């Protein structure tokens, strides 16, 4: 057994872009806690199945105190867990794993982390009853972002290359959301195929566009989820790219040229990491320390 205080880590693939060890090391130092945060590359299933189970066993045995989960395991890990928090169940994805009272739990701090960073950015959206967001992608991060937005009164269009997966995301949100569009509200939830024609013909002018796909990060640095043959819908919209490394993705560069508000996902990374840390340790994570540790990666917001 590893006897080094709070032994934490991240499973996913690839992980060479991850800033999580830097953030958690800064918090551990600031709180004078003994511990380490490791990266555990686990390939997509089925190749990574054995490694995934091995790392969860480390949690059960006490060799690890907590694990974060990122692409591509936020959904595939669910059948291996004993229980889910209400938030993880509603989102249908987990990014935070812990062992408590003999059970392996999955939680999701992405949703709260995303909304906390929007608040931190101070973006103001049109004063309408239900602003509209366009979410690009339909994986675990898309589920978290979509859940957070619909819970706070946004209408939503989810655009994905696999429309069936986007529709499944919508159905899951409708099942668990406390602000369901089918219960008397004006909010709209739709799923479309991510292509130029659908974006032009089927999407109301969005107030916020969020990229939750891996396009823009290694090994897809030269790619963008936004089709190059169509303009952005409005310079009044804001673009939030969950990719944070590189800090200036092709999507953000194009949106900036279109005079849109832009931000990468570094702030969301900080916020979700802080919430995970608090779940594992019971200590309050100093966000200012984490943001300072990540300051070299933050880009401007206009």
Instruction: List, for residues 200-259, the tens digit of each pLDDT value.
Output: 998 888 999 999 999 998 889 999 999 999 999 877 889 999 999 889 999 999 999 999
Instruction: Check pLDDT > 90 for residue 195.
Output: yes
Whether residue 101 is found in the same domain as residue 20: yes
- Give the whole-angstrom CA distance, residue 195 versus residue 263: 23
Same domain, 76 and 207: no
Residue 45 lies in a domain: yes
Statement to judge: residues 143 and 223 lie in one domain: yes
**pLDDT of 300 strictly over 60:** no
Kindly report the CATH number assigned to the domain that includes residue 193: 3.40.50.720
Q: Positive or negative, the Cα torsion across 51, 55, 60, 63?
A: positive
Q: How far apart are CA 240 and CA 144, in angstroms?
A: 14
Kindly report, residue by residue over 37-68, the tens digit of the pLDDT.
999 999 999 999 999 999 999 999 999 999 99
Report the pLDDT averaged over residues 285-291.
96
Confidence at residue 183, expressed as pLDDT on a 0 to 100 scale? 38
193 and 244 share one domain: yes
CA distance to 118, 122, 226, per residue, from 125 (Å): 11, 10, 21
Is residue 266 a contact partner of residue 244, using CB atoms and an 8 Å limit? yes
pLDDT at 186: 53
Q: 168 with 130, same domain?
A: yes
pLDDT value of position 3 = 43
Say what the pLDDT of residue 199 is: 94
Residue 86 domain-assigned (yes or no) = yes
User: Domain check: are 215 and 280 in the same one?
Assistant: no
Identify whether residues 227 and 281 lie together within a single domain. no
What is the average pLDDT value for the chain, to the nearest integer? 90
Please state, in angstroms and as integers, the Cα–Cα distance from residue 45 to each residue in 73, 92, 247, following that order: 8, 18, 28
Predicted pLDDT of residue 2: 41
pLDDT of residue 36: 96
**Would the pLDDT of 266 be above 70?**
yes
Region 148-152: mean pLDDT is 92
Three-state secondary structure call for residue 254: helix
Asked if pLDDT for residue 127 goes beyond 90, the answer is no
CA 260 to chain centre: 22
Q: Is 151 within the bounds of a domain? A: yes
Percent of the chain topping pLDDT 70: 92
Q: How confident is the model at residue 147 (pLDDT cuts 50, 70, 90)?
A: very high
d(CA 203, CA 157): 7
The span from the CA of 236 to the CA of 96, in Å, is 35
Q: What are phi and psi of 21, to 5 degrees?
A: -60, -40
Is the domain of 260 the same as that of 128? Answer: yes
Mean local confidence (pLDDT), 142-166 = 93
Q: Using alpha carbons, select from 291, 92, 266, 282 the residue that is nearest to residue 173.
A: 92
88 part of a folded domain: yes
Domain of 55, CATH number, reads 3.40.50.10860
- Which residues are CB-contacts of 79 (< 8 A; sequence separation ≥ 6)? none
Q: Is residue 1 part of a domain?
A: no
Find the domain containing 35 and state its range: 6-108+270-297
In this structure, are 24 and 68 located in the same domain? yes
The C-alpha atoms of residue 42 and residue 157 are separated, in whole angstroms, by 31
Residue 302 included in any domain: no
State CA 203 to chain mean position distance: 22
Is residue 155 included in any domain, yes or no? yes
Are 73 and 198 contained in the same domain? no
Which active-site residues does the annotation give?
Answer: 74
Does residue 219 fall inside a structural domain? yes
Average pLDDT over residues 111-134: 88
Residues 212 and 290 reside in one and the same domain: no
pLDDT of 301 over the 90 cut: no
Number of domains in the chain: 2
Q: Is the peptide bond before 14 cis (omega within 30 degrees of 0)?
A: yes
Beta strands 6-12 and 66-69 are parallel
| Same-domain pairing of 136 and 202 | yes
Residues 6+ apart with CB under 8 A from 49: none
């Amino acid at each position: 057994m590893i006897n080094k205080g709070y032994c934490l880590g991240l499973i996913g693939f690839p992980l060479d872009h991850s800033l999580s060890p830097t953030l958690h090391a800064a918090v551990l130092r600031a709180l004078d806690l003994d511990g380490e945060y490791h990266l555990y590359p686990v390939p997509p299933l089925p190749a990574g199945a054995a490694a995934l189970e091995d790392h969860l066993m480390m949690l059960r045995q006490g060799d690890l105190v907590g694990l974060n989960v990122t692409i591509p395991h936020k959904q595939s890990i669910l059948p291996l867990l004993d229980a889910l928090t209400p938030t993880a169940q509603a989102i249908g994805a987990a990014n935070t794993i812990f062992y408590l009272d003999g059970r392996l739990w999955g939680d999701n701090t992405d949703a709260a982390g995303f909304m906390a960073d929007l608040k931190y950015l101070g973006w103001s959206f049109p004063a309408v009853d239900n602003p509209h967001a366009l979410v690009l992608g339909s994986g675990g991060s898309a589920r978290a972002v979509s859940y957070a937005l619909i819970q706070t009164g946004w209408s939503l269009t989810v655009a994905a290359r696999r429309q069936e997966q986007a529709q499944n995301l919508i159905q899951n949100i409708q099942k668990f959301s406390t602000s369901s569009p089918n219960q008397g509200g004006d909010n709209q939830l739709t799923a479309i195929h991510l292509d130029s024609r659908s974006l032009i013909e089927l999407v109301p002018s969005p107030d916020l566009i969020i990229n939750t796909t891996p396009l823009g990060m290694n090994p897809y640095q030269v790619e963008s989820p936004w089709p190059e043959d169509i303009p952005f819908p409005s310079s009044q919209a804001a673009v939030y790219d969950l990719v944070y490394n590189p800090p200036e993705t092709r999507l953000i560069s194009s949106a900036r040229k279109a005079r849109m508000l832009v931000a990468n996902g570094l702030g969301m990374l900080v916020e979700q990491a802080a919430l995970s840390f608090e779940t594992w340790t019971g200590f309050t994570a100093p966000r200012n320390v984490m943001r300072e540790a990540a300051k070299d990666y933050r880009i401007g917001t206009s």
